[in-house]
Chains A and B, each alone.
Chain A
Amino acid sequence: MTAPTGLAGVPLSIEPLTKKDYTSDQEVRWCPGCGDYSILATFQSMVATLGIKRENTVIVSGIGCSSRFPYYVDAYGMHSIHGRAPAIATGVAMTRPDLNVWVVTGDGDALSIGGNHLMHALRRNVNMTIMLFNNRIYGLTKGQYSPTSEVGKITKSTPFGSLDTPFNPISLAIGAEASFVARSIDSDRKHLTEVLTAATRHRGTSLVEIYQNCPIFNDDAFETLKGPEGALISLRDGEPVLFAGGEYCVIRTDSGELKVSVTADVDPASIVVHDETRADPSQAFALSRLTEPGILQQAPIGIFRNVTRPAYDDLVRDQITDVRADDPTSALASVIAGGDTWEADEK
Chain B
Amino acid sequence: MPETLPLRRVVIRFAGDSGDGMQLTGDRFTAETALFGNDIATLPNFPAEIRAPQGTLPGVSSFQLHFASFGIVTPGDVPDVLVAMNPAALKANLRDLPRGGVIVVDTADFTKRNLAKIGWASNPLEDGSLTNYSVHAIDLTGLATAAVSEFGLSRKDASRTKNMFALGLLSWLYSRPTDATFRFLGEKFAKLPVIRDANIAAFKAGYAYGETTEVFEVQYQVPPAPMPKGRYRQITGNLATAYGLIVGAQKAGMRLFLGTYPITPASDILHELSKRKDVGVMTFQAEDEIAAVGAAIGASFAGSLGVTSTSGPGVALKSEAIGLGVMTELPLVVVNVQRSGPSTGMPTKTEQADLLQALFGRNGESPVPVLAAKSSTDCFDTAVEACRIAVKYRTPVIMLSDGYLANGAEPWKIPNLDDIEQIEPGFATEINGEINGKPHFMPYDRDPETLARSWAIPGTPGLEHRIGGIEKAALTGNVSYDPDNHELMTRTRQAKIDGIVRDIPDLEVDDPSGEARVLVLGWGSTYGPIDASARLVRKTGRNVATAHLRHLNPMPANLGQVLTAYDRVLVPEMNLGQLATVLQARYLVPVSSYSRVRGLPISITELESDLISTIDALQEENR
List A residues at the B interface (Cβ < 8 Å): 11, 24-26, 53-58, 60-61, 63, 70-71, 74-81, 84, 86-96, 98-99, 116-117, 119-120, 316, 319-320, 323-325, 328-329, 331-333, 335-347
Identify whether the interface residues of B are mostly helix, strand, loop, or mixed: mixed
Inter-chain contacts of A79 with B (CB < 8 A) = 466-470
Q: Is the CB of B246 within 8 A of A332?
A: yes
Asked if B588 lies at the interface with its beta carbon under 8 angstroms from chain A, I say no
Q: Is the CB of A87 within 8 A of B295?
A: yes
Q: Is the CB of B291 within 8 A of A95?
A: no
Q: Is the CB of B302 within 8 A of A347?
A: no
Asked if B284 lies at the interface with its beta carbon under 8 angstroms from chain A, I say yes
Q: Is the CB of A337 within 8 A of B298?
A: no
Contact partner, B243, options A25, A328, A336, A347, Cβ 8 Å: A336
A75 to B31: give the CA distance in the assembly, Å: 54
Query: B366 CB to closest chain A CB, in angstroms?
Result: 13
Inter-chain contacts of B31 with A (CB < 8 A) = 340
Query: B382 CB to closest chain A CB, in angstroms?
Result: 16
Q: Is the CB of A344 within 8 A of B320?
A: no
Inter-chain contacts of A316 with B (CB < 8 A) = 282, 284
Asked if B25 lies at the interface with its beta carbon under 8 angstroms from chain A, I say no
**CB neighbors of A among B456-482 (8 A):** 458-470, 478-479
Against A, the Cβ 8 Å flags (1 = close, 0 = not) of B492-517 are 00000000000000000000000000
Q: Is the CB of A325 within 8 A of B466?
A: no
Query: A172 CB to closest chain B CB, in angstroms?
Result: 15
Q: Is the CB of B462 within 8 A of A55?
A: yes
Closest to B233 in A: A338
Q: With contacts A87-B287, A342-B232 known, what are 17 further pairs, Cβ within 8 A?
A: A26-B478, A53-B459, A55-B460, A75-B464, A77-B467, A80-B324, A80-B469, A87-B286, A90-B295, A91-B300, A91-B302, A95-B303, A117-B290, A341-B231, A344-B229, A344-B232, A346-B226
The answer to whether A117 and B278 touch (CB under 8 A), given A24-B466, A55-B461, A91-B259, is no
A sample of 13 cross-chain residue pairs with beta-carbon separation below 8 angstroms, ordered by A number, consists of A57-B458, A87-B295, A90-B284, A91-B297, A92-B299, A94-B299, A95-B298, A96-B459, A117-B294, A325-B279, A335-B276, A341-B414, A346-B227
Closest 7 CB pairs of A and B: A91-B298, A79-B468, A87-B294, A91-B295, A87-B291, A88-B298, A338-B233
A77 to B458: give the CA distance in the assembly, Å: 9
Against A, the Cβ 8 Å flags (1 = close, 0 = not) of B65-85 are 000000000000000000000
Inter-chain contacts of A96 with B (CB < 8 A) = 302-303, 458-459
Inter-chain contacts of A56 with B (CB < 8 A) = 458-459
A24 to B478: give the CA distance in the assembly, Å: 11
Contact partner, A340, options B35, B299, B469, Cβ 8 Å: B35
Query: B62 CB to closest chain A CB, in angstroms?
Result: 23
**CB neighbors of A among B223-274 (8 A):** 224, 226-235, 243, 246-247, 250, 255, 257, 259
- The total of Cβ contacts below 8 Å across the A-B interface reads 222
A94 to B294: give the CA distance in the assembly, Å: 13
**CB neighbors of A among B197-231 (8 A):** 224, 226-231
Inter-chain contacts of B24 with A (CB < 8 A) = none
The answer to whether A90 and B298 touch (CB under 8 A), given A70-B466, A332-B250, is yes
Q: Is the CB of B299 within 8 A of A331?
A: no
Query: B561 CB to closest chain A CB, in angstroms?
Result: 34
Q: Is the CB of B299 within 8 A of A71?
A: no
Closest to B300 in A: A91
Q: Is the CB of A320 within 8 A of B464?
A: no
A61 to B226: give the CA distance in the assembly, Å: 58
A337 to B460: give the CA distance in the assembly, Å: 37
**Quick one: which of A95, A325, A337 has the most chain B CB within 10 A?**
A95
Inter-chain contacts of B229 with A (CB < 8 A) = 344-346
Query: A64 CB to closest chain B CB, in angstroms?
Result: 13
Against A, the Cβ 8 Å flags (1 = close, 0 = not) of B372-383 are 000000000000
Q: Is the CB of A340 within 8 A of B180?
A: yes
